[in-house]
Amino acid sequence: MCLIALAWRTHPRYRLVLAANRDEFHARPTLPLDAWRDDPGVIGGRDALHGGGWLALRGRRLAAVTNVRRPGDDTGRTRGALVAEFVRGGSDADPLAAIARDAMTFRPFNLLAYDGRTLSFATNRAEPRGEARFARHAFEPGVHGVSNGALDAPWPKTRALTARLAAWSAIAASRPDDATNDATDHAPDLAPLFAALGDTAIAPDASLPDTGIDLELERFLSPAFIRGERYGTRASTVVLIADDHARIVERRFGPEGVFEGETDLRVAFEDVTFESVAFEDVAFESLPFEGAPIEGAPLDDVAPERQSQRAEPME
């Protein structure tokens, strides 16, 4: 993903609510939300270039990843492998142990990892200066957000999305009888969350982060929902995790933000015994991708004199 807001243990029905956008080159081959064909227990969209994912669920485990925007610092293994490895991991006492050991072999990442009990944040570009080292911590109850920088960094789109998620959760908390009722007519209204994810407002220059790219590209990347011919928001996803089930809704978009489809899945939880499944990011079929080298390709949306600046592939 490139923008994630989460509400952890603030909703009367759902222990975790997640709203996220994935931004990527439109040419990058992608599979929609579904069971993975080589491991049907995994539910999520999939990068058809390397076989990883940006958000996936297996049993009670969930993982989602964002890149850390650091021009010139984007070598290593595909970030999508982190998602696959975590949700396919074994029942270790420390589910993040394997990722901690190999963290510095991956491109710069932020990872959200839920093991059915604990929600954790992990990164290999630790604050306060984005140093190349691994750091992790467990979340306390609350609403948080992350984009392509530090956790809870006050980027305009991150602040706006977390505020709207907090308001949505607060409404549910004020009506607990409705929020905890499983009847169809009491299903949560996700429209406010998708509206927040669909916000195309460009942030004022004074509020933009300084991530090492030029101002025009910062502006282009500043909305929650990015519209572009070659690069933009490819998917908006809402995840609701209760004690006994999860619901995942994915809306997909093409160039210039054209709607391409929606998938709405409900996954019932059972007592799942996790078995470690090996993941090789080179084993997935290699499909042609003309979007960019590792550091990205020029955007048509950016003036020719600015095209030395690059947007990074998410995975």
- Of the two residues 310 and 181, the one the predictor is more confident about is 181
Q: What is the pLDDT of residues 158-169, one digit of tens each?
A: 999 999 999 999
| 308 — pLDDT class (breaks 50, 70, 90) | very low
pTM higher than 0.75 for the full model? yes
- Alpha-carbon dihedral angle through residues 69, 239, 195, 163, given to the nearest 10 degrees: -70
Q: How far apart are the first and last CA of the chain?
A: 8
Q: What is the pLDDT of residues 123-158, one digit of tens each?
A: 999 987 778 999 999 999 999 999 999 999 999 999
Which residue reads 């991708």 in tokens? 289
Bridge partners (DSSP) of residue 35 are 43
The arithmetic mean of pLDDT across residues 305-311, rounded, is 41
Q: What is the pLDDT of residues 69-114, one digit of tens each?
A: 988 888 999 999 999 999 998 777 688 998 999 999 999 999 999 9
Q: Going by C-beta distance under 8 Å and a sequence separation of 6 or more, which residues neighbour residue 163? A: none
Q: How far apart are CA 64 and CA 84, in angstroms?
A: 10
What's the pLDDT at 276?
37
Q: What is the pLDDT of residues 168-217, one digit of tens each?
A: 999 988 876 655 555 444 679 999 999 999 999 999 999 999 999 999 99
Cα distances from 20 to residues 135, 205, 235, 251, in angstroms, run 22, 24, 8, 11
Residue 313 is given by DSSP the state: P
- Of the two residues 214 and 306, the one the predictor is more confident about is 214
Cα distances from 224 to residues 21, 158, 195, in angstroms, run 7, 8, 10
What's the pLDDT at 314?
61
Peptide bond before residue 141 is cis, with ω within 30 degrees of 0 = no
What's the pLDDT at 289?
40
Paired sense of beta strands 109-114 and 119-123, if any: antiparallel
Q: What is the pLDDT of residues 231-288, one digit of tens each?
A: 999 999 999 999 999 999 999 999 999 999 999 999 999 754 434 333 333 334 434 4
Q: What domains can be seen in the chain, in order of their start residue?
A: 3-306 (3.60.60)
Paired sense of beta strands 245-253 and 231-241, if any: antiparallel
Count CA atoms closer than 13 A to 56's CA, side-chain side: 30
Q: Are 64 and 112 spatial neighbours (Cβ–Cβ below 8 Å)?
A: yes
Q: Can you read off the two tokens belonging to residue 129?
A: 């200066």
